[in-house]
Structure formats: structure tokens, C-alpha cells
Structure 1
Amino acid sequence: MAAPKQTEKGERRRALLVAAAAELLAEGGFEAIRHRAVAERAGVPLAATTYYFSSLDELVGAGLDRLAREELADARACLDVRDDPHEIVLDLLLGPRSRAEGLDAVLRRFERLIGSGRRPFLAGLLRDQRVEFDALLDEALTRVTGRRPAPGEVRRVTALVDGVVLTALIEAEPDPRGIARAALREAVAAV
């Protein structure tokens, strides 16, 4: 089916649907994104979801892209106002919502990351986002350490934080961000 010609009203509706999908994804993971739920959240007719998106997968991809762009923009904004670079690294790795929402936000983010692996249609999008993510993480780590990270260092920091957070989640620790903060500070101090 050919994509519908976009009018100003159509572009607004499509943007509302993408925003709703991103919100639902952040709040409830992939299972929360259903045609009806997205349409209700967006305040548009149910048929709009299939008019503007050829499949639920396309809508999920658009929602994930928007959510990731919002999270990257939040982290960039924090870097611009010289927020604590350790916290920006944690925002990038655990999501900025983890500052205020704690454990629930970290769980939702890790569920979303793991769930992405079961959705091969997201692989290209995630690879493209990874380039932007790693560049911003490189900048944040430069501020933390006072030097550019060595090749592979960004990925090692990511693996370290992911590993300690996953262990904290398995062990039902109430503050995985705090555990990640301590591990990050220890790793940076050892450099």
C-alpha cells in the first residue's frame, strides 16, 4: 500500500500517534503498544493507526525512534548545562527517567533493550542509534575522565554498567542506579 499523502492535519495525527507509542513504550514496554491503546493515548480514531502505519511493527519502530531521540536530547541538554558527567553517563546507560523513577524505570529500560533483540525489524534502527549514543557517551566520558576514551573503552563502560545493573536487578537491589554509579566512579578512578 502506498503511503498516504501527508497534509498538515495528517502530519499532526501521525506525530500524535508516534508520541503516544513512545510514551506507552516508556511506561509499559513493547506489550503496551497496541493499535487501540496508541489511538486512545493520541486521541485519534483507531483507524488512524493503520492509515498512517502499514503495520504495528512500523508504529513500534517509530515510537522507539522517538523515545531514543528524546533520551539523547535530554542527555545532550544536561551536557550543555554542565550537569555532573557521571550522572549523564548513567542517564545514557539507564535512561534519564531512572533519576526520578528509580528501579521501575531501570526495569522498563532493560526489558525494552532485551525485548528489542526479539524484534529483528528494529536492528537497523538500533544500530543507527548506537552511533549517536556512543558519540554522546564518548563526550560524557571525556568530561568524567578529562581525556578521550581509548578505542573500545565506551563499550567496556557500557558492559560494566549493564552487568552490575543486571546483577542488581537479579538480586532485587532497590537502587540499581546507585550501584551503577559506584561501579562507574570506581572504574573511572582506576583509569
Structure 2
Amino acid sequence: MGTAKGARRRQALAEAAADLLRSGGFEAVRHRAVAECAGLPLASTTYYFGSLDDLVAAAVERTSREELAEGRAQLDRLSGRPQDTSALVELVLDQLLGPESRDGGLDAVLLRYERLVGAGRRPYLAPLMRELRGELDALLTEVLARAGRPVDAAELRRLVSLVDGTVISALIESDPDPRAAAREVLLRGL
């Protein structure tokens, strides 16, 4: 497993698992599906990952880190000056709901929230989710500071909770664009 070929195969499997997680949620991440998506033998999933839980954790980490990296890249493209509040609200919503939700991507929002709720049903993901939450909070704090709205940890939790509650309510009410509802609430909350 310490070879370059092994590292490439492990990476291909993690990428495939992340793709499946993004498109189909936790239930889509199965040994056979991951191997097929990666174009590798089925046995490679258990060779490079000790269990399905390890494979799922790799998928969650890869997906989340890619999302965080994209958020940082978006933030880096902004100048150092305070930004238009509405533009930064969109960046916050990209981080919380996914950029795919910009055009009424209801399925993307559903999958993102299913992933978050599903992580709670998988205790082995708790340490990773706490770590990723800290990184997301740091990014959101910087985004809001650039908007001229510095927040402390408690205020950030309040804003994120406000968005999450709004999105959940919109999903319950079959709102086809939960991002619009979250945008409105977040703009009022700032």
C-alpha cells in the first residue's frame, strides 16, 4: 500500500466514493459501486480501506475538503476590502447549501442536508465532522468579517442555525428554492 500505484488507487477509490456520496448520499457508497466508479477490482476497496466505514469517512472528508477549498478560493478571489453584503451572503450560502443550489438546486440541498443528518447516525464520523465544522466556522467567520460583519462563535452558531432552520422548513413545505428563503433570512439576520 505504500507504493505510488497504491496511493493512486486509494485516491481513485476515495474520489469515486466522494462522487457517489455527492450524487446519491450515504446509501450510494458501497464497495461494488465505488470499485465500478473507480474502474478498479472490487477487492481493491477492502485492500485499501479496512471497512465500509473507512471508505465512507474518506468520501466525507474528500467531499468536505473540496467544498472548503472551493469556498476559500472564492474568498481569495475577492479583494481585501469589505465586500457587498449580498455577494458575501451568496458565498456563505454556497458553503452551507452548496454552490449547486444557486439555480434552485433542490436535489443538491437535499443531498447536503441528508449527508449532515446521516453523519449524525454514524458515530465513527463524529471526530471528522467536528474537525470539518471548525474549518467551516473559520471560513464563514472570515467571510462575514470581510462583509464588515465580524461575528463571534456564538453569533456564527446563531446565523448558521437560522439558515439551517429556514432550509429545513422550506424542505418540509416543498419549497422548490430553499436557498431563496435562506438568503432572505440571512440578509435580515445580518
Question: What TM-score do you get using the length of structure 1 for normalisation?
Answer: 0.92
Distance 1:122 1:151, change over 3 A: closer
Does 2:30 correspond to 1:27? no
Q: Which residue of 2 aligns with 1:163?
A: 165
Residues matched between the structures, number: 183
Amino acid in structure 1 at the alignment position of 2:128: L
Aligned pairs for 1:130-149 (under 5 A) are 130-144=133-147, 146-149=148-151
Gaps of 5+ in 2: none
Equivalent in the alignment of 2:174:
172
Alignment match, 1:94: 97
Residue by residue over 1:130-182, the C-alpha shift from the partner in whole angstroms, topping out at 9 and shown as x without a partner, is: 111100010111123x0421341111110000000000000000100111111
Alignment of 1:120 with 2:123, yes or no, is: yes
Q: Deviations over 1:67-110 (max 9, x none)?
A: 00000011111111128211110011112222256111000101
In structure 2, what is the equivalent of residue 77 of structure 1? 73
**Using a 3 Å threshold, how does the CA distance of structure 1 residues 22 and 100 change in structure 2: closer, same or farther?**
farther
For residues 73 and 98 of structure 1, the distance between their equivalents in structure 2, rounded to whole angstroms, comes to 18
Percentage identity across aligned positions?
Answer: 60
Runs of 4+ residues over 4 Å off in structure 1: none
Look up the equivalent residue of 1:19 and give its one-letter code: E
Equivalent of 1:47 in 29, 43, 46? 43
Q: Which residue does 2:32 correspond to in 1?
A: 36
Report the Cα distance in structure 1 between the residues aligned to 2:12 and 2:157, rounded to whole angstroms: 35
TM-score by length of 2: 0.93
Which deviates more from structure 2 when the two are superposed, residues 110-119 or residues 79-88?
79-88
Q: Identify unmatched segments of 5+ residues in structure 1.
A: none
Query: SS of the counterpart of 1:114?
Result: helix
Equivalent position SS for 1:152: helix
- What's the RMSD between the two structures over aligned residues? 1.2
Q: Deviations over 1:9-34 (max 9, x none)?
A: 11000000000000100100000000
